[in-house]
Structure 1
Amino acid sequence: MNLIVFDGECVLCSGFFRFMLRHDRARQFSFATAQSPLGQLLYREHGLPTDDFETNLVIVNGRTYQRLDAFAAAMRALPWPWPALSVCRFLPGRLKNALYFSIACNRYRLFGRFDTCMIPSPKVRERFADGGFDG
């Protein structure tokens, strides 16, 4: 199962989720919010804080990606032209991390924050890996 775990309160992260939902026509990905029990478990398993979600997790073919590598892995799975955006994976690690964290650490200030996680429609809810949606 390919999975994207995202911060359901972050406007930018939720926008990434909606983008993937719209462009993943082959339905390769399931989703979970970082606030859900599954999201919390995966963040703990990867040594990430369970109260500050500065990175989305993208799991493809059993391999977990974080930060810009997660974005690149998700883009590679989509139809053309989106895989072209995965070139960011070739940037030097220090540059990738600096770019990523400059946005991630300021994402609520730059893009906003929802008071609560969104409540998906039943059709969207079926795409969530944990069978539901906790926020």
Structure 2
Amino acid sequence: MIVVFDGKCLLCNGWVQFLLRHDRQGRIRFASMQGEQGARLLNGAGLSAGEGLQTLLVVEGGRSWQHTAAILRILHRLGWPWRLAWVGWLVPAPLRDALYRLVARNRYRIWGRSEVCMVPAPEHAGRFLD
């Protein structure tokens, strides 16, 4: 599983840090949308990196997921107790994704942004594609 994230978004960087802490088996890999591999994965999903992109992308086995479907797949992968988030599938996708897009549109204003992409700690560097 590869998570493509906005490397300049502080909320997104916090999400990646959360995943690094809780993915004890180290199965999730990461690509910043500002990097070459992340841009290639976005392009493969019909998306393009840029200020207006408002989604997290998960790529696995030739398939991709966006918005809340991506988050729910990631949380399922983390195992117990995060797997309980699958109850979120009971909420219709248009409602879940509307809330997701609201947060995504305002992520820089609320959480801030960095002018440089996150640099992973040496022990996690191998999990980052770029």
Please give the TM-score of this superposition, normalised by the length of structure 2. 0.91
Hey, what's the Cα distance between the residues in 1 that align with 2:86 and 2:117? Answer: 28
Q: CA deviation at 1:79?
A: 2.3
- Contact 1:68–1:89 (Cα < 8 Å) also in 2: no
* Corresponding position of 1:71: 71
Please give the TM-score of this superposition, normalised by the length of structure 1. 0.88
The aligned amino acid for 1:56 is: L
The aligned amino acid for 1:30 is: R
The 3-state SS of whatever aligns with 2:127 is coil
* Corresponding position of 2:116: 116
The alignment yields a C-alpha RMSD, in angstroms, of: 1.4
Q: Which has the higher helix share?
A: 2
Hey, what's the Cα distance between the residues in 2 that align with 1:88 and 1:60? Answer: 20
Hey, what's the Cα distance between the residues in 2 that align with 1:89 and 1:9? Answer: 29
The 3-state SS of whatever aligns with 1:77 is helix
Q: CA deviation at 1:61?
A: 4.0
The aligned amino acid for 1:40 is: A
Q: For residues 101-133 of structure 1, give each alpha carbon's deviation from its aligned partner in whole angstroms, at most 9, with x where no partner exists.
A: 1101111011111111122222211111x2xx3
Q: CA deviation at 1:41?
A: 0.9
* Corresponding position of 2:22: 23
- Contact 1:71–1:86 (Cα < 8 Å) also in 2: no
Distance 1:60 1:90, change over 3 A: farther
* Corresponding position of 2:46: 47
Hey, what's the Cα distance between the residues in 1 that align with 2:62 and 2:22? Answer: 21
Hey, what's the Cα distance between the residues in 2 that align with 1:35 and 1:89? Answer: 30
Q: CA deviation at 1:62?
A: 3.6
Q: Does 1:38 align with 2:37?
A: yes
Hey, what's the Cα distance between the residues in 2 that align with 1:47 and 1:62? Answer: 13
Mark the runs of 5 or more structure 1 residues left unpaired by the alignment. none
- How many residue pairs get matched? 129
State, as a whole percentage, how many aligned pairs show the same letter.
40
* Corresponding position of 2:95: 95
Q: Structure 1: which 4+ aligned runs deviate by more than 3 Å?
A: none
Q: CA deviation at 1:74?
A: 0.2
The aligned amino acid for 1:117 is: C
